[in-house]
Amino acid sequence: MTTRDLRDRTTDFGAEPDENGLIRCDACPVLCRIKPGRTGACDRYANDNGQLVRCAPVTLSINNTTAGQLAKSATPDPADSRHPDTTETAIATAPSTDDLTPETVFVTGIGSGTTYPDYKPAPFIVSASHHGVDTVTVVTEGIFSYCGARVKIDTDRHLGAECATVFADGQAVGHVTTAEYGSQMLSLGGVHHLTGGSKKEGRVTCETLLALCNREAVDLTIDNGARITVQAGQAPIVNGVPESRMRVGCGSATVGIFAQQWHGLVDEVIVVDDHITGVLSEHQAGKCLNMPEAGVKVAGAKSTPGRYFKVANPGQGWGGTDISEPLSIIRTVDPSKAWAGLRLLMTSTTGEDVAYYVLDEQLQPVEQSVPPELQLTIDRIGENCEPSLATVIFTAGAGGSLRAGVTENPVRLTQAVARGDVTITMGGAPVYVMPGGGITVMADVLAMPLQSFGYVPTPALVAPLEFTLSQSLYLDNGGHRDHIVSVDEVIRQLGPHSRLESWLPSNPWPFDTGVSRGTIRSS
Ligand code: SF4
């Protein structure tokens, strides 16, 4: 096998130019005919002097960490605020070809190439030995028509109603889905938007997913809702304002957390929240502290003592409501319970909105400046808020025809994955495999190397995918025996031509994951 042989695997074993020098790329259904010196429609393949080449090299993930040290990574990622560039347990130094050993190299699908039609073996089927187990890693770039992004946006602010359409560049690309605790959620992409609408809708959906998954900022608008800018690992921008704080909890939880700190400093606290507004003296937390009921009644529907739903409408104001004037949610002040001089604190769930009142002789709230000792508790709320971030989770179905590139008997792969006998990674990053039929995976794009994703204009996303299992299991399940190549050979032939990426210490090392879970076993 020559050096050219292995590199040809990224270009589907080579293709010959026709009499005009055009070369046909058959790495996807588009089947571009590429002129000399030009790239195909996806910019991933080019005609280089009559040779079809993959424009990006294969990415090798290098485990060159040193345990037990504390130092800066040589390749910090400034766009990745969730993966700090220091760690107390492991560091990664800038990888070099000196680091290329069978024990430290994991061949990722990034740059490996796509295969079409699907019965062709995956570009790389790499054998290696780990912890005494002979393993095989099937390495490919999958073409995903069934894929999307779950985008988690840490904010209380109302971005749009559930099921409201999300637009990018004027095209529908997804919808608002059920909120999570302290976060609004978008479901973007999916086969419906990629293939079921107009050509432009499919193209824009693909572009939006590609940008998000490659950690770029994307502008979105929500039907009857907000304008937002989201970027994986960065603070979301809502209607032009960057978010900074993720709420400490719902209104009721905030009351529960800070009740003791407020006790003695104030007679009533109302934590305004679009979902569950908390009223301290009525709440169980206040009862446990023997606080007398203050008689300040809020609007909305009472759920349980001191917990109120729907005190206002959803919006961009206090606690994700539409109010900017907190007293607007106070319905009555009960003269049989309230008293002149009663100290009332109103705050949002992040502590960003605060007002302090003292009831006068007519039991009317009169705003005053927040006393310093009370301000400390507000500061504490802010201290307990995590930074607001946008998170992008790539979700895709890998259970289709792509499996034929792994084994001649695809259902055996699905069954092995379901049993936990196969470790799936994307660019070396861990994935969550959804239970049930098929192989539906979810991956945090921040755990993957930069620029892991590509596209084809069918339209569909291209993403790296690696299946690691024991060699015996692979062969028993109809694996492509004749296409197995050793990791030593990959290093020898591809090493100098590869993109070397330090393995992220926050990820489980792909082989350790399988071995420690017992999923890579001898049969
Ligand atoms: S779109 Fe890309 S992968 Fe598909 S045929 Fe054209 S160059 Fe090849």
Using the mean position of ligand 1's atoms as its centre, give its distance from the Cα of residue 477 in Å: 30
The terminus-to-terminus CA distance of the chain in angstroms comes to 29
Residue 264: which pLDDT band, with cuts at 50, 70 and 90?
very high
Q: Cα–Cα distance between 161 and 175 in angstroms, integer?
A: 9
Q: Cα–Cα distance between 180 and 153 in angstroms, integer?
A: 9
Q: What are the DSSP calls for 67-130, one per residue?
A: ET-----SS--TT-TTS-S--SSEEEPPP-GGG--TTTEEE-STTT---SSTTSPPSEEEEEEE
Task: Examine the pLDDT at 320 and tell me if it is beyond 80.
Answer: yes
pLDDT of residue 515: 67
Give the residue, out of 12, 22, 23, 28, with the most ligand 1 atoms within 8 A of its beta carbon, to mutate for a pocket test: 28
Cβ–ligand 1 contact at 44 (below 6 Å): yes
Task: Examine the pLDDT at 272 and tell me if it is beyond 90.
Answer: yes
- Give CA angle at 417 (111, 194), nearest 5°: 55
| Closest alpha carbon to 141 in 13, 233, 12, 14 | 12
Instruction: Express each pLDDT in 68-125 by its tens digit.
Output: 333 334 344 444 444 434 334 455 567 777 788 999 999 999 999 888 777 788 999 9
pTM: 0.90
Q: Report domain extents, the chain.
A: 3-54, 251-387
Structure tokens at 375: 């301000």
pLDDT of residue 114: 85
Using the mean position of ligand 1's atoms as its centre, give its distance from the Cα of residue 433 in Å: 28
Task: Examine the pLDDT at 238 and tell me if it is beyond 50.
Answer: yes
Task: Examine the pLDDT at 15 and tell me if it is beyond 90.
Answer: no
Using the mean position of ligand 1's atoms as its centre, give its distance from the Cα of residue 423 in Å: 29
Nearest-atom index, ligand 1, CA of 457: 1
Lookup result for tokens 């994700």: 320
pLDDT of residue 204: 98
In three-state secondary structure terms, 447 is helix
Give the residue, out of 42, 47, 115, with the most ligand 1 atoms within 8 A of its beta carbon, to mutate for a pocket test: 42
What mean pLDDT comes out for the span 9-31? 80
Angstrom distances, CA of residue 85 to CA of 99, 213, 358, 468: 20, 21, 48, 28
Residue 27: which pLDDT band, with cuts at 50, 70 and 90?
confident
Lookup result for tokens 């070396």: 428
State the pairing for strand pair 268-272/343-348: parallel
Task: Examine the pLDDT at 263 and tell me if it is beyond 70.
Answer: yes
Instruction: Express each pLDDT in 136-157 by its tens digit.
Output: 999 999 999 999 999 999 999 9
User: How many residues are there in the chain?
Assistant: 523
What mean pLDDT comes out for the span 220-230? 98
| Closest alpha carbon to 310 in 333, 331, 337 | 331
Quickly list H helices, 134-250.
Answer: 191-195, 199-213
Angstrom distances, CA of residue 77 to CA of 81, 123, 135, 442, 470: 8, 29, 31, 22, 33
Among 163-167, 437-441, 519-523, the range scoring the smallest mean pLDDT is 519-523
Q: What are the DSSP calls for 464-499, one per residue?
A: EEEEEEEHHHHHHTTB-GGGEEEHHHHHHHHGGGSE
Nearest-atom index, ligand 1, CA of 34: 7
Q: Cα–Cα distance between 283 and 293 in angstroms, integer?
A: 9
Average pLDDT, whole number, for the chain? 90
Lookup result for tokens 């602010």: 157
Structure tokens at 10: 């990224």
Q: Between residues 335 and 70, which one has the greater pLDDT?
A: 335
pLDDT of residue 519: 64
pLDDT of residue 410: 85
Cα dihedral across residues 114, 168, 228, 216: positive or negative:
positive
Hey, which residues does 66 pair with through a beta bridge? Answer: 91
State residue 332 phi and psi, 5-degree precision. Answer: -145, 165
Q: Cα–Cα distance between 268 and 279 in angstroms, integer?
A: 7
In three-state secondary structure terms, 460 is strand
Structure tokens at 8: 């040809």
Burial class (CB in 10 A: 0-12, 13-18, 19+), 426: buried
| Closest alpha carbon to 49 in 10, 23, 19 | 23
Using the mean position of ligand 1's atoms as its centre, give its distance from the Cα of residue 333 in Å: 70
Using the mean position of ligand 1's atoms as its centre, give its distance from the Cα of residue 521 in Å: 37
What mean pLDDT comes out for the span 122-131? 92
Instruction: Express each pLDDT in 450-473 by its tens digit.
Output: 999 999 999 999 999 999 999 999
